[in-house]
Amino acid sequence: MVPVLPGLYVGGAESCTSPESLAAAGVGAVLTVDAEEPPAVQGLRAMHVRVLDEPGADLLSRLDDCAAFIGAARAGGCAVLVRCHAGVSRSVAVVTAYLMKTEGLGWEEAYAAVRAAKPDAEVNPGFQGQLRLYEAMGCSVDSASALYKRYRLQMLTERYPEIQDLPREVFAVDPTSLCQTPNTEVLYRCRKCRRALFRSSSILSHVEGSGPAAFAHKRITDSVQLCGDGREKCTSYFTEPVQWMEPALLGVMEGQLLCPKCTSKLGSFSWRGEQCSCGRWVTPAFQIHKSRVDEVRTLPVGNFQAAKT
């Protein structure tokens, strides 16, 4: 194991084979990021995060939990060892995220700092992408963030259609089950029958495309212009799945999205992805044509509220 910060070490599975070495380093807590939970080490606080060292594995969702464990142990006066099987990818990714969150470093700068301490470190490409996304979200996993929602859907796409059931948390609440839409949100209704379909918080904006050239990967930055929020180049809204869509999505790769009340065609979906009119390829895609819905904005009027279409 090697020190990265005072009271923070990174290493492989062999790092815990010598209790004497751990005691000499003041290690009182061990965070293991591995597919299998290791045997407990007597006298040490332990946390296990079950993640394979594969580009498609989800480490991002656990980064805040890992940072909290490391921070609490260090605040309590003991050193922490973060380990994985080889000590080069998963453990390094977690320590990199911790530096980003606590030291105010960008992902590349944090990664370079860990590699300076451990030259054989090599985070797999998938985890590198997750660290970029972690940085884009302000080093905090926000389940309400459009960035995180799209990431979560892309993780599902990797396993679809082999999965039997879609997790409930990927579906936005059907707006018809809510008493009212918050003043800050726009409600979208079927233009034909006025059935409420989704809220503005369910729209997943995307980087504006420019035909085939737009399909190349671009790093997300604050300066990137987004579309999908009403600009003319995008003639559809791409949303997260909403509860009323569930019957149409299960067991098939693509299909139509119909209004659950009047069955008029609203758009389409594809787990493989669809191309927006702006040229951007969106994966997975849950596409509602703007021409098939109306915006309803709720405006405060004295002690009452009025809907504006």
Residues with active-site annotation: 84
> In this structure, are residues 163 and 249 in contact, taking their beta carbons and an 8 Å threshold?
no
Query: Shortest CA distance to 266 belongs to which of 297, 296, 237, 246?
Result: 237
Contact criterion met (CB below 8 Å) for 123 and 108: no
CB 157 within 8 A of CB 271: yes
Return d(Cα 96, Cα 117) in angstroms, integer. 12
Q: Residue 274's beta-bridge partner residues?
A: 282
Contact between 31 and 69 under an 8 Å Cβ cutoff? The reply is yes
Instruction: With residue 254 as reference, give the H or E element that holds it.
Output: strand 254-258
Q: Residue 77 is encoded by which pair of tokens?
A: 């006066």
Q: How far apart are CA 281 and CA 275, in angstroms?
A: 4
For residue 264, the SS3 value is coil
| DSSP symbol at 224 | -
Angle between helices 125-136 and 90-103 (to 10 degrees): 20
The Cα–Cα gap between 108 and 106 comes to 6
Nearest C-alpha neighbor of 136 from the set 147, 123, 126, 128: 147
Q: Is the peptide bond before 260 cis (omega within 30 degrees of 0)?
A: no
